Amino acid sequence: MKILRISYKNLSKYEELFENCFKKNSLNQDYLEWLYFKNPLGKVIGFDAIENGVVVAHFACIPTKIDGIMGLLALNNATHPMFRSKGLHEILAKKTFKGLNSKFRFIIAVVNYNSFYNYTKKLGFIEIGRLQLRFGKLIRSNKGLKKWTYEELNWRINSPRTKFKLIQRSDGIYFVNCYPRWIPLIIKSQILFESNSLSINSSFRPSNYGITIDWNKDKRPRIYLPQRFKPSPLILIVKNLGTQKIDLKSISFLDFDAF
């Protein structure tokens, strides 16, 4: 078995792996090319386990930022059903962590129950909270969260698998509407920019309230919605790299590519 870095030439093999691991997934080659190789913050980082030319395990992270601090978002990590219980997830993750550039100060992930044990007991992640599908106020704190540049947001809302719409209120607050193909809901998220470089003339002032999937530190949703509409149980975890710890206060579906 070979352990090799994630490669553009293996996109079709990743699609095949995900088809074997996940039901009703939309992780096709076009989407993976966009996610892994077109992110303005940098290309995917991670490793594959390859057996006889077939990718049997995959550990991927993409660059992200919290409060302007560079970090990584772990996602799309999978092991073929015939190769589970062999420790491949741990091997690939530790090899990824070992070779990281020092500019990356943390790793975050949103995982389900099946992955939670490996991340927390074997890889040193800690649980921060649980994301909920809710109806309520969308306004977020301006600290402890991902802030977007125009280039990042333009990349994000042009995902090949989901329709998004950027909305600016007349008071300069921005929202993104998401129209998932497989659930009959419009979900929304407030976004904040790193600078005031984006300006859209608007006299439109939509409500501060809406349906969203998010987590906010020390706040409990007032109105929960049926959790069957979520992609899966969503557990927010973090691993700090070095001595500087991020104070994460809020994360929404837009930040970790749930749709």
CB 78 within 8 A of CB 17: yes
Candidates 241, 154, 246, 257; CA nearest to 198 is 154
Bin 68: left if φ > 0, else alpha if -120 < ψ < 50, else beta.
left
pLDDT of residue 31: 96
pLDDT of residue 226: 67
pLDDT of residue 152: 95
Residue 166 half-sphere exposure toward CB, CA atoms < 13 A:
20
Q: Which domains does the chain have, with CATH numbers?
A: 2-130+231-256 (3.40.630.30), 133-229 (no CATH)
pLDDT of residue 183: 76
Per-residue pLDDT of the chain (259 residues; tens, 9 = 90+): 999 999 999 999 999 999 999 877 789 999 999 999 999 999 999 999 999 999 999 999 999 999 989 999 999 999 999 999 999 999 999 999 998 988 999 999 999 888 999 999 999 999 999 999 899 999 888 899 999 999 999 999 999 999 999 988 877 789 999 998 877 889 999 999 987 655 555 556 667 899 999 999 988 877 776 666 656 678 999 999 987 788 999 999 999 987 7
The string of DSSP codes covering 15-59 is HHHHHHH-TT----HHHHHHHHH--TT---EEEEEEETTEEEEEE
Tell me the two tokens of residue 183.
């659930």
pLDDT of residue 199: 57
pLDDT of residue 23: 79
Amino acid (one-letter) located at 259: F
Tell me the two tokens of residue 202.
């608007």
Tokens 């930022």 belong to: 65
pLDDT of residue 233: 73
Residue 155 makes CB contacts below 8 A (sequence gap 6+) with 34, 38, 39, 40
